[in-house]
Structure 1
Amino acid sequence: MRLIKLLIILLFVLGNNVLAQNIVRGIVYNENKVPLEGANVFIPMLVKGTSTNSSGEFELTGLPNGKFDIQISYIGYANQIVPVILGGAQFELDIVLTPASIETEGVVVSSGYSTTQHQNAVKIEVLRLNEHHLMKSPNFMEMLTTVPGIDMISKGNGVTKPVIRGLSMNDVLVLNNGVRFENYQYSNHHPLGIDEFGIETVEVIKGPASLLFGSDAIGGVLNFIKERPAAVGKLEGDYNLQLFSNSLGMVNNLGFKVSADQFHGGIRVGQKTHSDYLQGGGEFVPNSRFYEHSVKLNGGFNGKMLSTNIYYDFNMQKLGLVEEEAIDLIASRGRKPSVYYQQFGTHLVSQQSKIFLGKTKVDFNTSLQSTELAHIGNPNEYELQMRLTTLIYEAKVLFPSKPGNDYILGAQGVNQWNRNINNRETILLPNAFSSGYSIFGLAQRSFTRFRFQAGLRFDAKQIKSNEVGIPSEPEYRASVDRKYNNITGSVGATYRLNEYFLIRANGAAAYRNPNLAELTSNGPHEGRYEVGNISLKPEKSVEYDVSAHYHNDNFLVDVAGFVNTIGNYIYIAPTGALNGGLPEYRYSQDDAYLYGGELGLHFHPKSVQWLHFKTNYSMVIGKKRNGEYLPFIPANKLTFETGFMGKKFGLGSKPYLLIAMNYAFAQNNIDPDETVTPDYILVNLSMGSSFRLGNQPLEVNLTVQNLLDKKYVDHLSTLKEVDLYNPGRNISLSLRIPFRASIR
């Protein structure tokens, strides 16, 4: 009781500094000092924003004290990021935006604090999914592969896993709006588990990021950032429809959101249905069908001392498994999975709060996630069923500092339960409980053109599982009680020669603890017999990155290189023996290293503003200590894109035409258990425009993937094992209907 009283007194004393009203207002102009209507003004740290009126004016009220980055954006103009320090007074801004054909910088949140891409010592790529000219695909993960260095392991359109610089599965951490996403990510047979509905951007960290996120971030991070709330005083929403010829697919989603001065909320529902897809040449792939639906709710409050947001996500997936048993049973195309499919049902509740205590800010985040996994063999016959429940909690303190400097101290905890339910025949993973705790510190300091970042982290984890079976049986699994602890850190710097050119260098140590599947597996899984290894040690990685970036208003070049050495790299490989009539695979580990890099060019000729050229190249080599190549390493990729973007064409506005060519080099650097994959070229086409029916805007997009209906196989497609190819020609039609109304 005494502690509670002291805390209340402390909050009261510190809160005296935030009772005054903070107001930010201003006008946004173009380069000719003409006010811009509809410019977006957004404070990422508070998840709060508005838009300018017909006079270019905006106003944000009820803001807490502290340091904030305000991002001002408008189509066709360079983003402007204005840092402000609020202290109980009115803040006036006059913003002049300059035309730019290339969007070069934005505020990112995956760095631990709200900062810009160029300020951060760790390179963070941003993919904006709300850009209407983005190539549409039945496979959400395929849209992310437009970022150099990002690939995917696929088992058809519905089952895909992200790959960052050659690392995948549990070596890549997936975040749902900053929350660790836990849904049995260890297997390439399991899906990503996050759909694109209501996702505005994806932030990508390439390379170790254990300092902020802990285990599983040894290869990098994908953070799926939710759409921002409606502008203050507005009701906003949109309906989206996509039709796909190759898989006879249909995708729908509908969202509404509303914001007042202090409260905001929203809802989005979505659905996907796809039949078996067609390979290049026209033959269908049996059981590649899948179905998915989701519901997403959110609400939030912004006050003078507290900013909080609450999210609820539900996602249900039914995914056909393209395996020999299913191929033998399915004679014609279908839409509904009925045999040999997996079902994932996920509930995720999270709250993210920021408490403003004078010049100090405290982040307090919690989440509870439950994922139920079931494998169905024959119709309505459950082979296995289990539930993974994850509780995560985190607190971070951002201490007062001078502009350009940031200091963070944080603590995190994770509790996780795996339970087999309904007494199914197969126990894939034993009942188990794991707990992990960590503390970390991070500092950034600026000196003229240099910005330095350094941090340190300590983690402790325990995994305890029950025994499975009888000791005399071949599939017996003894109980496990393992403890791990790790110390990791990173150091990096950014040197900004001028507003156009910067260089980054970063070194980071990361780790990954063995997971339950790697330690305890002993039984059949997806057509093979998997055997775990109780003696596995944590993976430990040290990576060095160097990158350079140059841009002006019509030209951008970005180049990056890396070397990643991994001690005790964990992988699964065939033993050459049969176990229970199935090929046996065992988890093993060895020291390994990966190296490579990416190059990107983007050019808009000043004399021909409607034309643009874009080129990306990425490569990675991965080897074990004995000189053998690592499995599932993507082939080198080279992409070319030519775009035509205008302001007006007939009845349409903002028309565009994009022609892209993707070249995958032959992958001859293969693991002994893999086969060589030939090179291939794909041609893609996308076109679209915005229209108006009366006062109602519409956005229409037509995309053709694999225009020439090329019969090819990607090196990371697991369907290569059963002699099936990637999708052939796919024509998609997309329609977006946005709507907006004032509530004042």
Structure 2
Amino acid sequence: MKIWRYLPTVSTFIPQPKENMLRSCLTILVCFSCMASFSQTFTGVVFDKETGQPLPFADVYFVELKTGTTTDSSGVFTIDHYKQKRIHIQISYIGYQTFDEEIDLTKGGRQEFYLEPGHFELEEVVIAVPTGKLQGEHIVSIEHKSMQSLQPHAAAGLAEAISQIPGVEQNSTGPGIGKPVIRGLSGNRIVTYAQGIRIENQQWGAEHGLGVGEVGIESVEVLKGPNSLLYGSDALGGVLYFIDERYARHDAVEGYAQTRFHSNTLGSSNQLGLKAHKGKFKLNLFGGYATHADYRIPGLGRVLNTRFDEKNVKSAFGFNTNNWIANIRYSFLQNNFGIAEDASYTEEVDRSHELPFQTINNHNTSLENIFFLGSSKLNLTLGYTHNYRREFEEDPQEHALGIRLNTFTYNLRWKSPTINQHLSLIVGAQGMEQSNKNNGEEILIPDARTADLGGYVLANMEWGKLQLQAGLRADARQIHTRETEGEGEIIPAIDKTYTGFTFSAGMVYALERISLRTNLSSGYRAPNTSELLSRGVHEGTNRYELGNANLKSEQATQIDFTLNYRDEHVDFAINPFLNTIRDYIFLSPTDTVIDGSPVFEYLQTDAYLFGGEMGVHLHPHHIHWLHIESNLSMVFGEDRQGNALPLIPATRLQSTLSIETKKTNKIRLKSVFVQHMYKFRQGRVSLFETPTAAYHLLNAGVQMAIPARRQALEVSAGVKNILNTRYIDHLSRFKAMGIPNPGINVYAAINFRFNGQIK
């Protein structure tokens, strides 16, 4: 069965993907903009539930419109809408629990909203799972973190920033390249979404980074464990869902300029952003540039050729009219990474490209549509990504390796109205058509064409404090390659189809202070072309890899459980899990050598991953400015013979003591924190790994703000690895060469924000 036979409408986008997709997007825009767009006004007022007093300057966010406003001094807000009958609203205020609900805009008069006092962080509406629930109300395990909460840790890249989240680590190649690891799984077992579309960037490679730039990102959501029900093949270990910055408030212009300095790499990161919103039109523009020299380690100098830089541009245009909301987004990301081939050190500071190095260009374009159909809602998102990876080895003008990857995706989702006040349905279809083309002398994987097609149904049921969820999905993937001449060998052609059936079922039971959640979910992953057809030395790994064309799809089933206790002063959660993977694909050493490199071949076995996360957040009574947080993340992996799986993160204990103030003086001390991280010894290793010693890291930082009526200046500074500890993380790709991770890093940042009204 050939999947593309069943995609006649999609294939019209593919011969010249970028041009045809943009032409189709413009056609849709022109057609819908011709519709009537008479606006109506909705008015609401926000109160303190206990005192009945209005809450001035509360934050009001409209989820579908991706914009918001604030209440005035009397707690009143208004929104212009365009005949939408219902809209998802989120109201938040410091010191109060978040209000989250879908409201009826057709009711006359003013609607009243009441917020309950609370001392912990405001919860956010989860975007990655389209049920419109807050983070703590979801049946699947989700972590939502704003980029603002991760920035004080001064990460050099996005992958390092999100590795602060419990259950998330990174496979690093110096500070520049990081691949997220979720509960011991990474690469093609993790799906990444940005701009509302799936990001494809040759993620099978160990030295291939995340492929998403930092600018214009507001928050990230991490779905832990199999999530193939909503995201199809490859979502075996989890999903990273990056959420773009919201638009400016209604009839307003907003902007910022930000710069950060890192002493370890003598690096800087600079960003500019401008947002405007007038009537039914919204526009976001962002740009960023970062440059870093070779990083420094204690006592040895700088690691030669670990320099890197990044250029990032992002834009978004939003338009809403009669029962229709549209968002067009485009981003360009260019990364240049030096390739360290051995443990060489230098005292020189150089940022120029030194051979060997790699250059990666990413173009991402998406068109998101939301149609309001009475009390139901239809979402259609189209996406196109172009990834061009080049590796320069002997000539800086002539690449030895070149791979172009073009991907078109579509995602159609219908959400039903609530049936009998208890039941709602989500029905969806997703697909992908992808082409991979080589244009260099070296061939890692052959030219290939891949097509995905999947459909699912998800039911949500609510009875008071009990929520139930269940869903089913069917997928098919076809991979077609041509016979290709590799490094002195012929890589045979293949034409294979893989199918998968997945499910998810779970429940949440919420009491006044305790909530219980359990979920049973499955996932599937078809083998990639590297696993099927590799035949040669893989640079940077010092091994000769043999693919296996007879590999089967991986099938995973995970059960996890969460117990959460929360009152005014304590937040405690424990989340154990067990993930079993049938036909787990892994590299196994053989007793042969080819061209001076040991030979590894791809095999399959059954695998088991188990562990969990546990965290506590203390907020002492009468000391509301003090926060004490600690979390423990652990995962263990083994095959059916009891042998350890490779690249399993060491157990991590991370504790933070922070002071947060809310005083509005001319100079406000926003927060001060001290963080201690302890990585346990990783002694349970696979056949071609070595144990890794335990280590401690101590970090500290401070944030200050100088507020004003229409602008604000924020200054932050801190020190990472205060004791200049020399250590090697178990997931560092430099571990095999004995190269330590970065030493002490003093950082400083300035962020200037401004806003104004558009009349």
The TM-score, its normalising length taken from structure 2, stands at 0.91
The one-character-per-residue Cα deviations of 1:228-283 (angstroms, maximum 9, x if unpaired) are 11011110111111000001010001000111231101100001100000113352
Partner of 1:644: 659
SS in 1 for 2:550: coil
Partner of 1:7: none
- How far apart in 2 are the matches of 1:682 and 1:118? 30
Partner of 2:284: 266
Which residue identity is paired with 1:85?
Answer: D
1:18 Cα offset (Å):
11
1:98 Cα offset (Å):
4.3
- Of 433, 443, 448 in structure 1, the residue corresponding to residue 464 of structure 2 is 448
Partner of 1:323: 341
The one-character-per-residue Cα deviations of 1:456-491 (angstroms, maximum 9, x if unpaired) are 000111100011128xx8521001101111111111
- Do residues 510 (structure 1) and 555 (structure 2) align? no
Partner of 2:382: 366
- Do residues 40 (structure 1) and 59 (structure 2) align? yes
Partner of 1:305: 323
Partner of 2:233: 215
Unpaired runs of 5+ residues, structure 2, are 1-30
1:680 Cα offset (Å):
0.6
Change (3 A) 1:331 1:425: farther
- Of 707, 712, 721 in structure 1, the residue corresponding to residue 736 of structure 2 is 721
- Do residues 697 (structure 1) and 712 (structure 2) align? yes
- How far apart in 2 are the matches of 1:262 and 1:274? 41
1:650 Cα offset (Å):
7.3
Which residue identity is paired with 1:728?
Answer: G
SS in 2 for 1:108: coil
- Do residues 82 (structure 1) and 101 (structure 2) align? yes
| Contact 1:286–1:331 (8 Å) recurs in 2 | no
Which residue identity is paired with 1:502?
Answer: S
1:39 Cα offset (Å):
2.2
Within-5 A mapping of 1:223-242: 223-242=241-260
1:516 Cα offset (Å):
1.2
Partner of 1:385: 402
- Of 593, 597, 608 in structure 2, the residue corresponding to residue 593 of structure 1 is 608
1:548 Cα offset (Å):
1.2
Which residue identity is paired with 2:78?
Answer: E
| Contact 1:132–1:701 (8 Å) recurs in 2 | no
- How far apart in 2 are the matches of 1:585 and 1:156? 25
The one-character-per-residue Cα deviations of 1:516-564 (angstroms, maximum 9, x if unpaired) are 1111111232243322111111000010011011222332111101000
Range with greater deviation from structure 2 (715-724 or 584-593): 584-593
1:574 Cα offset (Å):
3.5
- How far apart in 2 are the matches of 1:295 and 1:727? 28
1:448 Cα offset (Å):
2.0
Within-5 A mapping of 1:266-665: 266-281=284-299, 283-324=301-342, 332-380=348-396, 381-402=398-419, 403=421, 405-421=423-439, 424-469=440-485, 474-498=488-512, 500-527=513-540, 528-648=543-663, 651-665=666-680
Change (3 A) 1:329 1:279: closer
Change (3 A) 1:668 1:632: same
Partner of 1:196: 214
The one-character-per-residue Cα deviations of 1:679-713 (angstroms, maximum 9, x if unpaired) are 11100001111014796411111121101000001
| Contact 2:59–2:92 (8 Å) recurs in 1 | yes
1:210 Cα offset (Å):
0.2
- How far apart in 2 are the matches of 1:111 and 1:249? 37
| Contact 1:293–1:315 (8 Å) recurs in 2 | yes
- How far apart in 2 are the matches of 1:454 and 1:173? 21
Unpaired runs of 5+ residues, structure 1, are 1-11
Which residue identity is paired with 1:382?
Answer: H
- How far apart in 2 are the matches of 1:399 and 1:510? 25
RMSD: 2.3
Partner of 2:124: 106
Partner of 1:6: none
| Contact 2:583–2:604 (8 Å) recurs in 1 | yes
Which residue identity is paired with 2:315?
Answer: L
- How far apart in 2 are the matches of 1:133 and 1:555? 25
Partner of 1:5: none
- How far apart in 1 are the matches of 2:608 and 2:215? 36
Within-5 A mapping of 1:673-684: 673-684=688-699
Within-5 A mapping of 1:12-23: 21=40, 23=42
SS in 2 for 1:676: coil
- How far apart in 1 are the matches of 2:522 and 2:572? 28
The one-character-per-residue Cα deviations of 1:614-650 (angstroms, maximum 9, x if unpaired) are 0000111100111110000000010111111223497
Change (3 A) 1:20 1:703: closer
Change (3 A) 1:369 1:452: same
Partner of 2:23: none
- How far apart in 1 are the matches of 2:51 and 2:309? 51
| Contact 1:280–1:726 (8 Å) recurs in 2 | no
| Contact 2:366–2:382 (8 Å) recurs in 1 | yes
SS in 1 for 2:161: helix
1:74 Cα offset (Å):
2.6
- Of 113, 123, 140 in structure 2, the residue corresponding to residue 95 of structure 1 is 113
- How far apart in 1 are the matches of 2:492 and 2:581? 29
Partner of 1:4: none
Q: Percent identity?
A: 35
- How far apart in 2 are the matches of 1:279 and 1:73? 44
Change (3 A) 1:404 1:18: farther
SS in 2 for 1:166: coil
The one-character-per-residue Cα deviations of 1:711-734 (angstroms, maximum 9, x if unpaired) are 001110110111100111001101
Within-5 A mapping of 1:51-70: 51-70=70-89
SS in 2 for 1:721: helix
Which residue identity is paired with 2:510?
Answer: R
- How far apart in 2 are the matches of 1:689 and 1:405? 47
Change (3 A) 1:78 1:448: closer
- How far apart in 1 are the matches of 2:348 and 2:39? 69
Which residue identity is paired with 1:458?
Answer: A
- How far apart in 1 are the matches of 2:88 and 2:560? 27
| Contact 1:28–1:57 (8 Å) recurs in 2 | no
Change (3 A) 1:665 1:564: same
- How far apart in 2 are the matches of 1:696 and 1:394? 39
- How far apart in 2 are the matches of 1:133 and 1:487? 39
1:323 Cα offset (Å):
1.6
SS in 2 for 1:167: coil
Which residue identity is paired with 1:194?
Answer: V
- How far apart in 2 are the matches of 1:451 and 1:694? 44
| Contact 1:29–1:56 (8 Å) recurs in 2 | no
- How far apart in 2 are the matches of 1:522 and 1:237? 51
Partner of 1:9: none
The TM-score, its normalising length taken from structure 1, stands at 0.93
- How far apart in 1 are the matches of 2:117 and 2:265? 41
